[in-house]
Amino acid sequence: MLNISYLNHFSGIVLSGIFLFLSFLWVLPHTIALRNILLVLGFIFAIIYLVSRANKLQFNKTLIPLLLLITLFIWVIVHFLFFSMNPDVELKEIKSLWLRAGCGAVTAAALALIVKETSWGKICFFVAVSFTPLINLGVYGYQSYLKGTLIMPNEFYTRFLFNKIEAAFFGSIAIAIFLGWSFNCLEKKQNFKNIKIELMLFLACFLFVVSSLVSASKNGIAVGLSLFALFCCCLLFLTFFRFGSRLKYLIVMIIFIGGLVTFAKLHKSSASSGWETLYADLKVSVQVDRYQHWRGHGMGYPLNEFQKPVASNTYERMSWATVGWRMIGQEPLGYGSINHSFKGMLDHHNIEHTINGQTHSGWTDFSLAFGIPGLVIIIFSQLIIIYIGLKNKDQYSLIGVWICIALLPLGIVAEICYKQYFESTLFFIAFAATIVYRREVIK
């Protein structure tokens, strides 16, 4: 007779190993076939793991985020059957991108349970989420070694092993996970072992921000430093309300404020232009009828009130998002394609353009693809995760809370709903939704 306990343990170990390899390969070029194989294997072993512990499942309100994610997949099928503007493209993505996203979501759900229940699963998870920023730093160090001096960020991003969005996305997620776990360590008695773990977590967070810094990733720096700032605010709150631990929280807060100020100054001194004229550039960018440079056609970029060309990344993000939300208002159920939503919607409205990509705003792109219903489902699921996680008040739920806190702003400024980044987004939402699940509900 098959030993259920052995099957549960074996499938958990294999699944953790699969995630280690998948995290290492997720951002590397020319690995799509191997990534797909790992996603399928992850799905198979995740099902085995989940089935082997099905008797432990209890239906309660902490399952709401997972049920909302299932609703999202149902909405995709309903959209294809009744509302699609391009059924051929949408069906192709359902059989490829959405299938991979589904495999990843199931894998993430099982992985979250493994992290909660085993020490080795937790270690594998922390190591895996660190891979992308550490790979990025390794490439930076190697390129600097070849040149004989440290490379400036604006020069390094042309030598990337992968794109800036990958450094920003996975770096922000890693920071969120490590900061979420830091609260668990800070709550414990401060012996040498716990202090050593805390210092390792803080050092890792600083390295993840450096990864975005050397990549000249403005959105990665903005989200990373915003997480640092929120972490400091939480520590400030604890400093005033946890009287027995004031000094501990105050010291950590000072460390992070120092890091926050240092990284902000370093980024400002090495980043491309745009921060100084941000407000002026934004005012121009939203005037999409007056300044139609967003269409492409080699028109360049308009001038701001200082008679200087607007920063390209600011103008493209804001003008495309403005046009995107105008079209969402006209087509609130969406176009039906993750990878071609902006271009497809522009073509549908007979708007002349030479744009082949997305708006650089994940939530705008997703709304263009699956409309207001799709956006409500994916945003509301994250808000529910944050609510349940904070109410649970356990060490693992805070990881889910901080993942969503990172994803919500990241989806505004980065293209996280495009190709494999969308698969990664759903993966981590599913992970967060499962890690806040509790058999015993806190009332």
Q: What's the rounded Cα separation, in Å, for the pair 121 and 12?
A: 8
Q: Report pLDDT for 190.
A: 66
Nearest Cα neighbor of 124 from 107, 106, 111 is 111
Q: How far is CA 152 from CA 136, 140, 213, 271, 314, in A?
A: 14, 10, 10, 9, 21
Query: Could you tell me if 22 and 35 are in contact, meaning their C-beta atoms sit under 8 angstroms apart?
Result: yes
Quick one: how far is CA 377 from the chain centroid?
17
Burial string for 183-211 (b: 16+ CB within 10 Å, else e) reads bbbbeeeeeeeeeeebeebbebbbbbbbb
Q: What is the pLDDT along the chain (443 residues), one digit of tens a residue?
A: 456 777 788 888 999 999 999 998 887 778 889 999 999 999 999 999 998 877 777 778 889 999 999 999 999 999 999 999 999 999 999 999 999 999 999 999 999 999 998 888 999 999 999 998 888 888 888 888 888 888 877 777 666 666 778 888 999 999 999 999 988 777 776 667 777 887 888 888 888 888 888 887 788 888 988 898 888 888 777 777 664 556 666 676 677 777 666 766 665 655 556 667 888 888 999 999 998 888 886 778 888 888 888 888 888 889 999 999 999 999 999 999 999 999 999 999 999 888 887 888 999 999 999 999 999 999 999 999 999 999 987 889 999 999 999 999 999 988 888 888 899 999 999 999 999 998 665 44
Residues 6+ apart with CB under 8 A from 136: 161, 162, 166, 167, 171, 211, 214, 215
Q: Report pLDDT for 230.
A: 87
What's at 289, amino acid-wise?
A: D
Q: Report pLDDT for 160.
A: 62
Q: Report pLDDT for 242.
A: 61
Nearest Cα neighbor of 334 from 67, 90, 74 is 90
The residue extents of the domains of the chain are 4-278+357-435
What's at 223, amino acid-wise?
A: V
Q: Report pLDDT for 263.
A: 62
Q: What's the rounded Cα separation, in Å, for the pair 218 and 419?
A: 21
Instruction: Count Cβ atoms below 10 Å from residue 279 Cβ, excluding itself.
Output: 10
